[in-house]
Structure 1
């Protein structure tokens, strides 16, 4: 059962200040009377039923008839999560029986620069300090056991909703943690595929947290690994984990991006900006240029890369300029992969895997092929590929030159 603690046990007066400012902002935006909960800065004046839903789902677990988990045959392993665009060490084909994969994540509130050229910045709400949160990998039949910690100096409540899991709103009803708290959630990976996870405290705080970077992806591999439509094994040399993030950054009357002293201070301004449904930025891995230039992804001719693309809030259309999606799984690994896709589709609130073996050296641009977002809003990454050029695939027969009229 979800535990509601005495407000006197909630550390730091800063959270009480935040609760007052946030609730006042909610009332101003909705014209509603707002009453603070005893434990958190929840949005009581904004969609009260939705705000309470994740807590109610947690309370439902007090049912004494719940079937105890049978952990017979499971072995425990620790997975060290790593920052994106990298993937944690893992097996492509599972060995041995099912495992309980132990991971730890911390809900860090971090001031991040979104675009150095314009000075745009955001108090990002993160898992482990990165946007997106770290990639989690397991196999079908495994259990993921997450320790979720909210640092004592945080300003807000956080939780986690795993789209790959079953029950309690994806675990969102069982993982509410306030500053200084931790919780442990264990869930079974019953579906193979790529899935989003995200923070979902309740009410308007759900889109607020998601659009401030608090989302990531889980890949649940089949126990015998990836296969094509005929059952032939497919293997990759590396993973490129790309999280597409839409930001809605408030501006002042002069069109300059506003700055804020602490996480949550932008709540009222952000809600107004979000209501327009027009992002100021759509970027890969948290910021403009996060995966270009010195930060570009690298590979070699002949290497196979599995590109995992997560978008927790909006539809996206990834395209690898100069390459293809040789095999594309739109979330599920149970269905045969799509073949030789020029552009593939990521539904908002999902993650997709696409596999490609590089055949030519050079720079490949990986973009959202809504080119307004890809070029103007920041959704571009680069792969820098080393190797020998193959004129059988492409050749510049004549270099650019003037021609006679």
Structure 2
């Protein structure tokens, strides 16, 4: 017997929810289109590609539209980029060598049970690109093509796609990449705007926030071909990248206030919709879980090293702050086409975007990198640590008198 969900008074079975029950073409791919009136799949038009239409109907539609010219890829070399797990970045050149390239990448969509907080036992059936929250960082240069093979594993339950904020057209690729479990698709898009950008899953309607708040988002960095520069055109270089994805989770609770558990991905849908409507996250974490970037997993650096911190938040505003350091150069809105701001204490990353900040460490010790809504940092989990090695500089800071009783 199929499990039924009661959403806004409508009885909807689990299969219809997971396999496109909220798809209604381009109009329903915006946030409000289907949220208020979820309907069974049979009552709604589906976003389909010609391969899913009868041959005669597909041929008739194709005849009505002017044919687009194929992209001219003459002179482009193909290179494979091996994606790596966050918080790390794939191998890349800061300054491009040679002409533009076609960068081939592959991402597997995996639905997996993720522990969000070991202390409370909070968990979620995360929806992931390549098994991580956030999805892997992708790096290219302005003028390159990114050619993604996106695979929805047969073991999954849901339909998925991908929307690149860095790309142009077709809902960021979301309109061309809908795939069911056991399917794959290939999308190629040209990187014409330098900066750091969000990507995320956007199946349509209420499934958009559901997928995004279940971890299905990440970032892409498009570098200028001649590398990063300050406002005067001087080259800026970094020694490493710290890729941080801030994730808001809305975990359902039972009548006793305990976090609920579910047998499979998608079983939490109705409960999650109710939790999301509060707009109050139960967790706001870096890289998928509380403590993911602290303790043994803390980020590492040395005095004198320059780190480019890439911060992605696909859903909510956030305020990154490096306690004990600064943003030497900050691309707060993510655009490398604009001059960086300098010397910031805290910077602002808009929900649905990524930003970047560069800092050269000057003192050893443990630096806390936090969302400076300190309630979220201290109580909800939005904290990471940099452990920095090197010699202390008393010229920058010195304890003149150690703690002692106040003299009477």
TM-score (norm 2): 0.90
CA positional deviation for 1:44 = 6.3
Where structure 2 has 5 or more consecutive residues not aligned to the other structure, the ranges are: 35-43, 52-57
CA positional deviation for 1:57 = 9.1
Partner of 2:198: 196
The partner residue of 2:400 within 389, 397, 401 is 397
Aligned: 1:222 with 2:219: no
Aligned: 1:331 with 2:309: no
Q: Verify the 8 A CA contact 2:23 2:204 in the aligned structure 1.
A: no
Question: Secondary structure of the residue that 1:170 maps to in structure 2?
Answer: helix
Q: Verify the 8 A CA contact 2:315 2:351 in the aligned structure 1.
A: yes
Partner of 1:306: 308
Partner of 2:152: 150
Question: Secondary structure of the residue that 2:366 maps to in structure 1?
Answer: strand
Alignment of 1:182-331 (within 5 A): 182-329=184-331, 330-331=333-334
Q: Distance in 2 between matches of 1:328 and 1:56?
A: 41
Partner of 1:77: 79
Q: Verify the 8 A CA contact 1:34 1:44 in the aligned structure 2.
A: no
Partner of 1:345: 348
CA positional deviation for 1:93 = 0.1
Alignment of 1:55-94 (within 5 A): 55=47, 63-94=65-96
Partner of 1:367: 370
Q: Distance in 2 between matches of 1:70 and 1:148?
A: 23
Aligned: 1:30 with 2:30: no
Partner of 2:357: 354
Alignment of 1:2-151 (within 5 A): 21=3, 24-25=4-5, 28-32=6-10, 40-43=19-22, 50=33, 55=47, 63-151=65-153
Aligned: 1:377 with 2:356: no
- Alpha carbons of 1:229 and 1:37: their partners in 2 closer, same or farther (altered >3 Å)? same
CA positional deviation for 1:323 = 0.1
Q: Verify the 8 A CA contact 1:42 1:205 in the aligned structure 2.
A: no
CA positional deviation for 1:58 = 8.8
Question: Secondary structure of the residue that 2:171 maps to in structure 1?
Answer: coil
Any idea what the Cα deviations from partners look like across 1:90-137, whole Å, max 9, x if unmatched?
Answer: 000000000000000000001010000000001000000000000000
Q: Distance in 2 between matches of 1:141 and 1:55?
A: 30
Q: Verify the 8 A CA contact 1:37 1:44 in the aligned structure 2.
A: no
CA positional deviation for 1:55 = 2.7
CA positional deviation for 1:187 = 0.1
Q: Verify the 8 A CA contact 1:321 1:366 in the aligned structure 2.
A: yes
Any idea what the Cα deviations from partners look like across 1:303-335, whole Å, max 9, x if unmatched?
Answer: 000000000000000000000000001210000
- Alpha carbons of 1:325 and 1:58: their partners in 2 closer, same or farther (altered >3 Å)? farther
Question: Secondary structure of the residue that 2:221 maps to in structure 1?
Answer: strand
Q: Distance in 1 between matches of 2:46 and 2:318?
A: 27
Question: Secondary structure of the residue that 1:382 maps to in structure 2?
Answer: strand
CA positional deviation for 1:65 = 2.1
Any idea what the Cα deviations from partners look like across 1:193-228, whole Å, max 9, x if unmatched?
Answer: 000000001111100000000000000000000000
Q: Distance in 1 between matches of 2:337 and 2:49?
A: 29
CA positional deviation for 1:361 = 0.1
- Alpha carbons of 1:187 and 1:243: their partners in 2 closer, same or farther (altered >3 Å)? same
Root-mean-square deviation (CA, aligned residues, Å) is 2.2
Partner of 2:182: 180
When the two structures are aligned, how many residues end up with a matched partner? 382
Q: Distance in 1 between matches of 2:389 and 2:373?
A: 28
